[in-house]
Amino acid sequence: MLALKIGQNSINAYSDFLGAAETVQEVPSRLPEIIALIMDAGRDELIQIFEAYHTELLISEKSLSYAKTFFTVLWTSIVKEMELKISTRKDEYENLTSETIMSVMEATGIRDCMKTVLDNTMAIIKMIESAREKNLYHITERARNYIDEYYTEPVTLNSLSEYLRISPYYLSHAFKNIVGVNLIEYLNGNRIEAAKGLLADTEESVKDIAASVGFSDANYFCRVFKKYTDITPSQYRGVSRNR
Q: Are 25 and 32 in contact (CB under 8 A)?
A: no
CA–CA separation, 217 and 140 (whole Å)? 28
Q: What is the pLDDT of residue 61?
A: 92
Q: What is the per-residue pLDDT across 72-126, written as a single tens digit (0 to 9) for each?
A: 999 988 988 887 666 555 566 667 778 899 999 999 999 999 999 999 999 888 8
Mean pLDDT of the chain: 84
CATH assignment of 184-241, given 1.10.600.10, 2.60.120.10, 1.10.10.60, 3.30.1330.30?
Answer: 1.10.10.60
Residue-range domain boundaries for the chain: 3-127, 184-241
Q: Are 41 and 125 in contact (CB under 8 A)?
A: yes
Which residue type is seen at 97? T
pTM of the predicted structure, to 2 decimals: 0.58
Q: Are 3 and 12 in contact (CB under 8 A)?
A: yes
